[in-house]
Structure 1
Amino acid sequence: MVTTDGSSGSPSWRHAARADLLAFARRAERPDGGFVWLDDAGEPDPDKGLELWINARMTYVFALAHLDGADDAERLAEHGITGLRTLLHDDEHGGWFDEVDTDGHTDDTDKRCYGHAHVLLAAATAVAAGIAGAQALLDEATDLHLHRFWEHESGRCVESLSRDWSQIDPYRGANSNMHTVEAYLVTGDVTGDPGWHERALSICERIIGIHARSHGWRIPEHYDHDWTPVPEYNVESPADPFRPYGATPGHAFEWSRLLVQLAASLDEPRPWIVEAAEALFAQAVDDTAEDDTPGLAYTTDWHGEPVVRERFHWVMAEAVLAAEALSTYTGGALYAGLASRWWAEIAEHFVDDATGSWHHELSPTMGSSSRTWRGKPDAYHAFNALTLPDLPLSPSAALTIGEASA
């Protein structure tokens, strides 16, 4: 673990940085409901509607912040729950739209696992925080995951369905399943139902234990209808923000952290879980961490050569979280050393001292960039990075953050 003084990444440093981040995140509140996409200065982006993933993530952040004692966070979490239950909700067929305009209209009516996983995460966390309306949201979200997205035959979740749930998109994705693992672990902790942890384990066994292992611990992100990897998917659009070509090392770090949390949640974790977490971490470091260059590349090809070299804040957040988790679980000095290095890089390059938020995308030379992202729409990754290292690996933060700050 990092030191307890005010140096970059220490608990006191993280506490101060988290307060600054929350002050910025509060600007996303829309008086008429929901949370908006913020630009670099913290102003609403007029070209963006209400995005499901942003609204769910912000609700999650404010629910955790309320458990941690932050002023006004309970009201903001309730504001988020209300937006999810009304503005983004499909009252005719159930579930949630990915995006609506400020009048509540959308041209994209498909229901996607990615957004629904974040709704589940937000709802379970908000239930733990005692937020009004959260239980009804959790009831619907768990029902939809069990009966619409969960595919018993494959032991994973399908990616997308039509508005009325009658048609299933043949594309399958690792990213949505990764966020589903996180949501299932929190849901299992909050509800006390071990079935959610069993489903999380099933996803990990297949995507990581089978596919990542057979691809040298570089995770295939894209699959066809029967879960056959499609390695050249989006080769012509390598910097896609949600479905980029090649391997995504930031996801390897994220999976690594989730695997450690899964192992910590089990009475008798299978040895392969932490072995896989360490292998994913090692390969991602080998592919992206350069001795004389700060930050970590967004994507690589299947030989580990960087394809998109831009540095994203969420990749740094997940890298340092994985290092912290592995340091705690294994005691390995390598992980503590890398955590210290990455905290220093985050403090120097990614934290925006003028606003309190983190720069979402930097160029390979650590200048500003907007090749893939514009603005600062997401507090979730940074908030997790500034919060989880001070908490037990299991149970989830929703059940432990208040105890840690008491």
Structure 2
Amino acid sequence: MNRICLCLPTNRACSATIAALHDEAAYAARRLGADVQLLILDSSGDRTRTEHARTVAALPATRHVTVHHLDEDAQRAFLRRAIGQAGLPEPDRLLHLMLPPAVSYGACTNRAFLLAAALGCDSLHRRDSDSTYQLHAGQPVFPVHHELPWLGRPAAEATAGGLRTDLDAALLGRPVSLTGASFIGELSVDIGEIRRLDEGVYHDVVSLWAPADWPEGRKRELVEESFTGAGTAPFTGDRATLTVVDPMRVDMCNIAFDRAVYERFPLPPATDTIGSDYFLLHLVHDAGLPGILHNRHIENFHTPERRTDTGFPAYQRRFVKFLLSMPYFHHVYDRMATEGTGLLDERHQVRADRVVKLLRESTGLDRTENIWRLDRVDTAYRKLGGRYARFADRLAEERDRLMDEAESDMADFAYLVTAWPALVEAARR
């Protein structure tokens, strides 16, 4: 029986999502024979967390489904024990990277990775609190249907089992390391208002996450594709393909990793940075590890908090930090693509030392490109006026700090990667 971790990190009210996730866990146990550790990592305020606890208490007892609802105090206690057992230097720095006071999309998933190791899980399956399952013929469309049973097994077994494939025959001996789909509905990044206000400004801003030297035509194609997921067409029937999964075709709200991936390599712990949790998608792709791309897309929606007077500037800051992180990530991604299978050892597992070298190299990049990005964002947001212009005023005061953070985030990531094996082993104990 596979033991899997079905995980929901959240910092917002999502009782309906918790109940729906339990339904998916029950489906995995009943239909797929899994032992499901349902993990809710709750960073919500006291009132919301209390409501979540009531929701968890009311969930029906289900065979082979165990629910773990951990607030930040419980998560912090676990991390302190693991860090202490690992005996690593700078324990306070590690704790800060694993549980920072600010929003970190990578750190919350890293905590899930460690807890999955502690729970003895074979894989981790992540969902998000601002998404829901599609319905087909009155039944929810659960992604876990495709995430099991091939994850972690040689790709050749999946093809022998009848799974459609476009995988190169030379890769069939490697393990299926990732299974994923995307989303339908609203943009994954809440910037649709910019597009409604001014299509030209939207193009100017979104194109900034491309490498600066890309030709305009390629940037235009990226803008058209960015943050749109699988569009809006609803699910009508299953399609799944064994392949080397393109990171643009999947989303972190609808993803599953084999333990051999996340126990070898964490996600960037960057704070206030949209998209910082997508690194493993690129690593699995560039290393030539097989995956399964399916079409059980999750339905995405936006919570209103991001558009309030306090939520709007905070969210826009995360978007700008995403843009500033891209020169560093592009540097690493380009070199990982060149390394290819050189990123793997003889057991087809990621050689973390190769990637750490690239991460450290990236911290020495010239900042001229990011100065140009900030100038472009300033011009674009002032053109939009209103609260975008007010945010541009705030951004002007933070330029140096934001660029410093984008660089130090990569140094922190490299540090965490070097500490990760000891942390995982301590978590297992």
Q: TM-score range by the shorter chain?
A: under 0.3
TM-score (norm. length: structure 1): 0.28
Higher strand share: 2
In terms of Rg, which structure is larger? 2
